[in-house]
Amino acid sequence: MKNVEVKLPDKLWDFMQNLVDENEFESVDTFILHASYWVAELYGFSAEAGGKNLSTLIVDLITSKVDAGKKENQKVQTVVRTVVKTVEIPNKDLIMETYGSSKFMFEDAIFAACQFTALKQGKPPLSKEEFYKSMEKMEEAGVLAKMEQGGKILWKKND
């Protein structure tokens, strides 16, 4: 086994500790271990059911409950697959690489660093529109938080 150090928001720690106090889990460490396994299963850690990951099995189960002959079946499948599917954010790796060990960065600095990193990697530079779309999607996904300071946009990297 490997040891991992994790920084948790106070509310999340309190929630986990409450479950331990209610004897739902042996310890916070046990909770984190179980949660890690559950997320790993969702993305196919064991994939024992015919090579399907848990998210695919959930979609199959829900859509099988709807009558295959009805038009709603197609709608339900689309909605369920959208909810279960992971959020794909274009340029996320490029943008996150610009942060390095920083927690906060000004928007202009992130854009400039992305351009430099893209060129260094032999990729074409990002357009402003593409950059803003990626930043908005990262904010929606909770990866980054947007704030304003001194009339400038500042982005905080959420851990």
Segment 102-126, tens digit of pLDDT? 888 899 999 998 898 888 888 888 8
What total number of domains does the chain contain? Answer: 3
Residues 97 and 143 placed together within one structural domain of the fold:
yes
Residues 1 and 36 placed together within one structural domain of the fold:
yes
Residues 71 and 128 placed together within one structural domain of the fold:
no
Residues 139 and 121 placed together within one structural domain of the fold:
yes
- C-alpha 101/C-alpha 111 separation (Å) is 17
Residues 77 and 102 placed together within one structural domain of the fold:
no
Q: How many other C-beta atoms lie within 10 A of the C-beta of residue 8?
A: 13
| Reported pTM | 0.46
Residues 52 and 2 placed together within one structural domain of the fold:
no
- C-alpha 71/C-alpha 40 separation (Å) is 33
Percent of the chain surpassing pLDDT 70? 70
- 3-state DSSP assignment of residue 116: helix
Q: What is the pLDDT of residue 82?
A: 47
For residue 51, what are its two tokens?
Answer: 């090579």
Residues 76 and 110 placed together within one structural domain of the fold:
no
**Which one is predicted more confidently, 38 or 157?**
157
**Which one is predicted more confidently, 29 or 45?**
29
Residues 79 and 100 placed together within one structural domain of the fold:
no
Q: What is the pLDDT of residue 47?
A: 57
Domain with 67, as residue range(s), is 48-86
- The CATH number of residue 123's host domain is 1.10.10.10
- C-alpha 87/C-alpha 148 separation (Å) is 26
Residues 101 and 151 placed together within one structural domain of the fold:
yes
On the 0-12 / 13-18 / 19+ scale of CB atoms within 10 A, 21 is: exposed
Mean pLDDT of the chain: 78
Long-range CB pairs of 30-39 (<8 Å, 24+ gap) are 32/6
Residues 63 and 116 placed together within one structural domain of the fold:
no
- State in Å, rounded, how far the first CA of the chain is from the last one: 23
- 3-state DSSP assignment of residue 83: helix
How confident is the model over 139-150, as a mean pLDDT?
86
How confident is the model over 18-39, as a mean pLDDT?
86
